[in-house]
Each structure stands twice: as C-alpha cells, then as structure tokens.
A and B are shown apart, each in its own frame.
Chain A
Amino acid sequence: MSLVGRNALIALLITIALVATVVYAISYLNRQRVAALSAIEDQLSIDTLSLDTEFSLLEAAPCDQSADGIGLTRELSDLGDRLSYAEEQLGSDNAQVIRLKQQYSLLEIRDYLITKKIATACGTKPVTVLYFYSNNGDCADCDKAGYALSYFRSTYPTLRVYSFDYHLSLGALQTLIDVTKVKGDRLPAFIINGTTSYGFTSLADLEKKFPKGALPAVTATSTRP
C-alpha cells in the first residue's frame, strides 16, 4: 500500500475513533445527568416523606416547627430546571426522561398537598400556581408562559410553582386534572390559589392574577432559585 493510502486509512480510523469517542462522551454525560437527576429525586423523595411524617408526628401543634417546606419547593424548582434541560438533550420521548418526569410530578403533587395542609393548620397564605403545559406541539404559548413563571419564581421566592406536563401518563396527575377540571385543549392553564385561568398573553396579565400583596419581592442581589 502506498504511503498516501496507508495514511488515509489511518486518518479514517482516527476520525471514526474520534467521532465514536465524542458520541460516547455525549452518551456518558447524558447518563450521568439522568443519574444525577435520579439522585436528586431520591433525596427529595426522602425529604418530602420526612416533612410529611414530621407533620403527622406534630399533628397536635404542627406550627411549632419552623419547617414550612419552602426549601423543598426551591429544590423542586431546581430539579425542574435540570429535568427540562435533560429533556432538551435526550428528547421528550426518552423512557428515562418520562420516568423522571413521572417521579418529579409525584413529588410536586406531594409538596403541593403538604403546603396546603400546613397552610390550613397554621393559617399561612402561600401563593401556589399549578401550571399545566403540553410538549405535543399543541400549545404555542407554553414556552413563554413557562419562562414568565421562572421570572416570577425568581422575583417572588415564596411563590410555589408546580409545572405539569398535561399529557404525562401518571395516575396521580390524571386525578389532579380530574379534580381541578383543567381542559387540555386550552393550554397553558394556571390554577392560582384555586382559581383556574387559561392562555398566556403577557407578564403583566399573569401577575394580575396573583393575590394582591401576598408576594414579597426578592432583594436586588438575589438570583434565580
């Protein structure tokens, strides 16, 4: 074989090896992402259960404890950002992503229920937003609505936003949809402290739906939770 032929063959093998390495590295990184998400979810699951148990143990005087679950909600929010990024990378039809989203939605529902229990028992007035979106291409304003809610979360740290993929196959989520009577053909949908509204027009319009004076704004130095 000529020198050129030999070198071209070696170069081809190097190229294939390099591309294969890059593909493997991407796959490895994505696997690590899923593992990281899984670990966070496991921890959150324990935290949620712990808070729930703590609440039951202190049923007589639940408000004596300072735990209001807000830290948990923030962690949930961070997990949501990461899950959203992983979904972008792996695709919304990826089996692992779907499984993680199911777990995440379950955690959100549990956190929402605990928040409501604490509010009832202690007389606190948290502002909760149940946000329903769709990734099936049938919700033109969902991305904008999601981004606007991220902004509100950053501006009002006590705001509790729970995002749900309307079409996710999960019994508890389906029950929540049934209970709240959210319609899937008018997404995005928001349930703010029990009041349902549909569609996203502007940041200001959405903000008007929050209870007046219930949300203290973050100081200038704070960053996105």
Chain B
Amino acid sequence: MNAEILVYPFLFVTIFFEAFVLVTFLSAPARGARARQAARVEDPALPTVAIIVPCLNEGETVAATTNSLLALEYPKDKLEIILVDNGSTDDTPTIMARYAGNGQVTILREEIRGKHNAVNTGIASTSADLIGCLDADSFVEPDALLEVIPSFRDESVGATTAAMSVHRPGNLLQHMQNAEYIFGITLRHVLSSVNGIYVTPGPFSLYRRKVVLALGGFREGHKTEDLEMALRLQKAGYWIENAPRARVYTKAPRTVPALLKQRTRWTTGFMRNVSNEYRGLVGNRRYGALGMIVLPIGFLAIASGILLFIVAIFQVVRHALVAYQLRSGIPLAYAWLPHSGTFDWFYLPSSLYILLGITTVAGSLTMITVGKRLSKTPGNLIYGLFAYLFLYGLLAPLWLMRATTDVALGKKRLWR
C-alpha cells in the first residue's frame, strides 16, 4: 500500500480546520471582538485587579516582570501585584524583598511546591474582582490590562486570555516559537468567538475571582494547571474570552532539549486531562465548538503530527535509497547537480499529496501573518516564518511522540 494514502484524511481535516478558522474569523462575533475598544484608565467603573506572579527560582526575570506590571496603565488603587515565592533556592526572595515598600505589591511565600498552590495562596490573600496570572518570565505591555477589561462585561465570561509572543527571540528556535505563538493569537481570537478555548495560558490570563473560588481554585492538573482550569470553566458553562491586542511577551526555551521538555509537559497535560477528567467534553454537542471540533481535532493533530513525520521520514529514506542506487557509479557532477537551470512547467510537481500539503502550510502562514497584524505585535517575522516552515515539522513530532509514549506508559516527568 502507498504510505501517502494514510496522510490524506489528516490533510483533509487540517484544511477543514483552517477553513473553519477562516470562516469564524469573518463571522460577526469575531468581528465584534476585534472592534471592541480598550477600557479607559479614568473610567470609575474599572474593576479591582490582582495579578499573581508565582515564582520558583525566577531570580533572573522576576524584577523585570514585576516592573512591567507596575508600569501597567491602571489606577494604582485598583491594581495589586502579588508575588508568591514557591520555595525558591536562588535569589528570588531577595529580589522580591526589594518591592516590600511598594504599596501595590504583596509578597507571599508558599512552601508547598506546585504552581497551583502558589496561585491559590495569592487568590486567598486578595479580594479583587479579577485575578490574573503572570509567569515570572513574562512581561506585559502597559495597555494590556485596559485591553483585557472590556471582555469581562458579560457576566458569563469566566476568564480572558491575552496575545502572547516571544520576548526578544534570539536564535532560530525562539523565532520559530514566536511564529507559533503568533499563530496562537489568531487561533485564540477565533476560538474565543465560539467559546472553543481549552487553555488559559500562564502569561496574563485573567479570571473572575468569584468564579475561580466557586470552582475550588487551581489544581495540579497533570502539571498543566492553566489547561485544567480552562477545561473546568468550560465544563461549568463559563465563556473564555480573548483580548487580541493585550500583548504579553514570554521567555521561550533557547535549546531543543528545554523545548522538548516544556512541550512534552503541555502535550501530556492535554492528553491526560482531556482523556480522563474531561472526557465528557469530547464529542459532546453541549460544548459546541470545543466539544465537537477543537478537542477531537486536538487529538487528531497529535496523531497526524506523528504519522506525517513517520511517513515523511519513510518516503525520504526510500527516495534517497532509490536515488543513491540509481546514481551509484555515475560521476557526481552529473548525478547530483541539476541538469538545467531553466524553468519548464512540464516538470512542475503535481502530486495531490504535495499540493494539499502546500495548501495547509499556506493556511498556517496566513494565520501567523493575520495574528501579527491583529495583535500589532512588533518585530520582524521573516526569521520566524522561515524557522516555522522548516523546523517546526521536524521538532513537533519529537515531543508529540515522547508525550504519547509517556501517557501510554504512565510516565511522569518533572516540571523542569
């Protein structure tokens, strides 16, 4: 059997999902969300907000994170910053202590390790209307909070996500992640308009405090407490919104091993949460886009990522072997160099497999470009698009395979 045949159903579903994103992007709710104006800092009706920064050995970045929060355009008497040390062994507590005299900042310590414990400690110490989380390796734009606030006007909204991108991408790997994060901006914006968001990421997601308390606070959630909380909000019938112009920048792994570790945790978290505690959401019409499209396609994406990779490797090796055998003994100059520099339409590739693949890649690149425009994220995306195009397909299957193996074998890994 031709291995390519296995790929067609996945390519079809990928194109379907991209088309769904496009159609939903053009629908009235998404257009309405894009037209939503940021709140005004002088508005007396602004809610009180507490931003919790859980820290575990974040000495290098916690000061910059805190400073970016203190620079938020928001009435000082309505914005509280809660730094929670979660048992750091580096200089995090010392750096936190520098903010002890600041009236906006509260410093806490939670000895029991676990991000969810740190966040719950922060929640317990405040009476703010809204609580936000910001990982201690992330930084917000000054107007980010004002961009988020209007999405809470509807009482059914339990949480809102922001527009994440990578903070000062340095190497190609970080540029790749930046493109991927910006892809996520479009995706979250679109999915929020049909309540299809399944994760409220650590960098600057805001929650209605009373809702979080009613749901019992944060849980360990298979080391993805943000994903677990989002699914719990969905299950309880709350809406998860998105503020596409609330820009937040996060540090991204610089090395492949670090990236694999992070993504394996994310992927296993998704698989474990969705296939266990939240299995009832999958394929359930009550949960609309989330249950019928997003979660099933999430699983399919993991399977297709692995399958496409295996098929691609198989095909490349097979073709390379055939090419090598064919050229064996033929002088290199003839065998491996192109014979003609002129374009000839006759030899244009016209395989269904290749053309559908190109279509899906074009869809992804379009979503990245739209995400950048939508969020007005600064910086050059050329490197990101290049890296995403050539690196992502090679790296993603590695963490997908590792995560799938971990879930199948019941293996647990450390956070870091």
Contacts and interface: CB of A to CB of B under 8 A. Distances in A.
Interface of A: 2-4, 7-8, 10-12, 14-15, 18-19, 22-23, 25-26, 29-30, 33, 36, 82, 85, 89, 143-144, 147-148, 151, 154-155, 202-204, 223-224
B32 to A, nearest CB: 12
A82 B334 CA distance: 19
Nearest to B289: A4
Interface string B58-83: 00000000000000000000000000
B94 interface: no
Contacts of A10: 19, 23
A147 B330 contact: yes
Interface in B246-279: none
11 contacts: A3-B24, A7-B20, A14-B23, A15-B19, A22-B352, A23-B352, A25-B355, A82-B346, A144-B325, A151-B334, A224-B340
Contacts of B355: 22, 25-26
Contacts of A15: 12, 15-16, 19
Contacts of A204: 329
B346 A36 contact: yes
A15 B23 CA distance: 12
Nearest to B329: A203
A14 B334 CA distance: 45
B124 interface: no
Interface in B1-23: 12, 15-17, 19-20, 22-23
Contacts of B335: 151
B179 to A, nearest CB: 23
Q: Which 4 residue pairs are nearest across A and B when measured between Cβ atoms?
A: A11-B20, A11-B19, A224-B339, A14-B19
A89 B348 CA distance: 11
B359 A144 contact: no
Nearest to A26: B350
A65 B167 CA distance: 76
Contacts of A148: 329-330
A3 B16 contact: no
Given A19-B356, A29-B350, A7 B326 contact: no
Given A4-B288, A10-B23, A14-B19, A85 B334 contact: no
B293 interface: yes
B350 A89 contact: yes
A154 B339 contact: yes
B327 interface: yes
Nearest to A224: B339
B331 interface: yes
B235 to A, nearest CB: 17
B329 A18 contact: no
A203 B330 contact: yes
Given A26-B350, A26-B355, A18 B15 contact: yes
A147 B327 contact: yes
Given A155-B334, A203-B330, 9 more contacts: A4-B289, A7-B27, A8-B20, A8-B293, A30-B350, A33-B346, A151-B331, A202-B329, A224-B339
Contacts of B339: 154, 223-224
Interface of B: 12, 15-17, 19-20, 22-24, 27, 29, 194, 196, 288-289, 292-293, 322, 325-331, 334-335, 339-340, 346-348, 350-352, 355-356, 359
Contacts of A154: 334, 339
Contacts of B12: 15, 19
Contacts of A224: 334, 339-340
Nearest to B339: A224
Contacts of A151: 330-331, 334-335
A74 B6 CA distance: 41
A157 to B, nearest CB: 14
A114 to B, nearest CB: 27
A121 B129 CA distance: 103
B329 A2 contact: no
A68 B340 CA distance: 26
A2 B289 CA distance: 10
A144 B29 CA distance: 61
Q: Tell which of A29, A30, A85, A154 has the most Cβ of chain B within 10 Å.
A: A29
B352 A26 contact: yes
A22 B359 contact: yes
Given A22-B356, A85-B347, A3 B27 contact: yes
A29 B330 contact: no
Given A22-B352, A22-B356, A4 B328 contact: no
A26 B350 CA distance: 6
Contacts of B351: 26
A19 B347 contact: no
Given A23-B352, A26-B355, A7 B15 contact: no
A151 B346 CA distance: 21
A29 B334 contact: no
Contact of B326 (A22, A33, A85, A147): A147
A24 to B, nearest CB: 11
A15 B289 CA distance: 18
A33 B346 CA distance: 6
Nearest to B195: A4
A214 to B, nearest CB: 20
A3 B29 contact: yes
Nearest to A154: B334
Contacts of B325: 144
Contacts of B22: 11, 14
